């Protein structure tokens, strides 16, 4: 899997590569299945165009898993805890959701990023997984459970705006 790392204007500053197992069940069994190169600090792998509300987290898999619950919310994967703490904010940003990883590095990144956001006048809210991260939640509990768990953590106006409507199929 190859992902472009971009700055806020959309210019490519780097690349992130993840080698996947041939059977599609996880990362390849090699010493370093993930590698990134280029200008990473402050930048991210982005899903959607940044606006006044953005969700940010460490890993690509985590943010893609969260995107299953919030298909319309712009997201940014900073690629590591230290890079998440240094993520640059779009000028229009008013509310930042931080998808934290449940470990010591994730807690440190959460604290640093929320402190920076609040100092910049940006509301910072935490999205907490039930397990280690949202990818682990998705794999363990499924997309419906992740949607339910995330919905109660959102500001009400964001739940209505970004959760999307589910289509119920009938025969």
Q: What's the CATH code of the domain at 85?
A: 3.40.1360.10
Helix and strand numbers (H, E) in the chain are: 6, 8
For residue 123, give both structure tokens: 């509301």
Is 6 among the domain residues? no
Is 167 among the domain residues? no
Domain of residue 122, residue span: 42-162
Task: Supply the DSSP symbol for 89.
Answer: P
Residues 31 and 19: their CA atoms lie apart, in Å, by 10
Residues 74 and 14: their CA atoms lie apart, in Å, by 20
* pTM of the complete model: 0.91
Is 8 among the domain residues? no
Is 55 among the domain residues? yes
Is 66 among the domain residues? yes
Is 18 among the domain residues? no
Please report the pLDDT score of residue 169 as a whole number. 39
Percent over 70 (pLDDT), the chain: 95
Q: Is the pLDDT of residue 167 over 70?
A: no
CA 113 to centroid of chain Cα atoms: 13
pLDDT tens-digit map of 76-120: 999 999 999 999 999 999 999 999 999 999 999 999 999 999 999
Is 69 among the domain residues? yes
Total structural domains within the chain: 1
């Amino acid at each position: 899997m190859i992902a472009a790392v971009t700055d806020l204007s959309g210019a490519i500053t780097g690349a992130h590569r993840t080698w996947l197992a041939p059977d599609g069940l996880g990362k390849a069994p090699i010493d370093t299945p993930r590698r990134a190169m280029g200008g990473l600090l402050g930048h991210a792998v982005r899903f959607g165009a940044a606006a006044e509300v953005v969700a940010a987290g460490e890993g690509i898999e985590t943010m893609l898993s969260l995107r299953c619950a919030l298909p319309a919310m712009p997201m940014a994967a900073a690629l590591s805890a230290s890079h998440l703490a240094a993520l640059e904010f779009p000028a229009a940003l008013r509310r930042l959701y931080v998808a934290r990883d449940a470990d010591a590095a994730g807690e440190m990144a959460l604290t640093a990023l929320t402190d920076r956001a609040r100092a910049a006048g940006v509301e910072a809210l935490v999205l907490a997984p039930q397990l280690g991260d949202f990818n682990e939640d998705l794999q363990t509990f499924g997309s419906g459970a992740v949607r339910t768990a995330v919905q109660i953590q959102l500001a009400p106006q964001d739940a209505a705006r970004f959760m999307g409507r589910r289509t119920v199929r009938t025969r």
